[in-house]
Amino acid sequence: MALRAPTLSEERIPTGRAIDVRDVSKAYGPTGTHVLALERISLSVAPGEFVCMVGASGCGKTTLLNLIAGLDRPTSGEVGVHGARAALLFQEAALFPWLTAGRNVELALRLRGVGKQERRAEVDRLIDVVHLRGFAGRRPHELSGGMRQRVALARALAQDADVLLMDEPFGALDAITRDLLHDELERLWQTTGVTILFVTHNVREAVRLGDRILVLSSRPGRVVADFPITVGRPRRLESPQVAQLAADITERLREEVRRHADIAPEE
Amino acid sequence: MPTLRQKSEPSSQGGLDADLAGIDALDIPLQPAPSLASRAWSALWPKLAAIGLFLAVWQTVVWLEWKPTYVLPPPGPVFERLVSDLADGVLLTATWITLRRAVVGYAIAMVIGVTLGLAVARFRHLRTALGSLITGLQTMPSIAWFPLAILLFQLTEETITFVIVLGAAPAIANGFLHGVDHIPPLLLRAGKVLGARGFATYRHIVLPAAMPGFVAGMKQGWAFAWRSLMAGELLVIIASRPSLGVRLQFARELSDAEALLAAMIVILVIGIIVDAVFFGRLEYAIRKRWGLLSSAS
Show the domain range for A49.
29-86+162-261
What is the distance between the alpha carbons of residues A160 and A158, in angstroms, rounded to a whole number? Answer: 5
B28 vs A144: CB contact, 8 Å cut-off?
Answer: yes
Q: Tell which B residues from 178 to 207 touch A, by Cβ distance under 8 Å.
A: 186-187, 189-190, 192-196, 200, 204-205
What confidence score (pLDDT) does residue B10 get? Answer: 42
What confidence score (pLDDT) does residue B128 get? Answer: 85
Q: Is the pLDDT of residue A207 over 50?
A: yes
Q: Across all residues in chain B, what is the average pLDDT? A: 88
Residues of A in contact with B286 (CB under 8 A): 98
**What is the strand order of the sheet A223-228 is part of?**
A87-89, A163-167, A195-200, A50-55, A212-216, A223-228
What confidence score (pLDDT) does residue B17 get? Answer: 82
Q: Tell which B residues from 16 to 35 touch A, by Cβ distance under 8 Å.
A: 16-17, 19-21, 23-24, 27-29
- What's the pLDDT tens digit per position in B109-136? 999 999 999 999 888 888 888 888 888 8
What confidence score (pLDDT) does residue A263 get? Answer: 58
What confidence score (pLDDT) does residue B13 get? Answer: 57
Mean pLDDT of B230-243: 89
SS3 A139: coil
Structural domain includes residue A16: no
The confidence band for A255, taking pLDDT boundaries of 50, 70 and 90, is confident
Domain count along chain A:
2
Structural domain includes residue A21: no
Structural domain includes residue A231: yes
The confidence band for B294, taking pLDDT boundaries of 50, 70 and 90, is low
Are A208 and A144 contained in the same domain? no
Mean pLDDT of B252-273: 92
Mean pLDDT of B247-254: 92
Q: Is the pLDDT of residue B1 over 50?
A: no
Q: Among the three residues A122, A145, A160, which one is the final residue of a domain in this structure?
A: A160
Structural domain includes residue A5: no
Sequence-distant (≥ 6) Cβ neighbours of residue A162 within 8 angstroms? A7, A8, A18, A47, A81, A82, A83, A84, A86, A194, A195
- Return the bridge partners of A19, or none: A45, A81
Whether ipTM exceeds 0.85: no
A142 vs B291: CB contact, 8 Å cut-off?
Answer: yes
Are A47 and A166 contained in the same domain? yes
Residues of A in contact with B289 (CB under 8 A): 97-98, 139
Are A155 and A169 contained in the same domain? no
Q: Show the domains of chain B with their CATH numbers.
A: 61-289 (1.10.3720.10)
Are A63 and A94 contained in the same domain? no
Residues of B in contact with A125 (CB under 8 A): 4
What confidence score (pLDDT) does residue A10 get? Answer: 36
Cα A190 to chain centroid distance, Å, stands at 16
Are A110 and A77 contained in the same domain? no
| Pick from B20, B186, B190: CB nearest A180 | B20
| Pick from A85, A140, A146: CB nearest B23 | A146
Are A171 and A252 contained in the same domain? yes
For residue B20, what is the nearest residue in chain A, using CA coordinates? A180
Q: How far is CA B290 from CA A96, A236, B153, in A?
A: 9, 37, 45
Please state which of the ranges A71-75, A194-198, B22-26, B154-158 shows the lowest mean pLDDT: B22-26
- What's the pLDDT tens digit per position in A53-66? 998 877 788 889 98
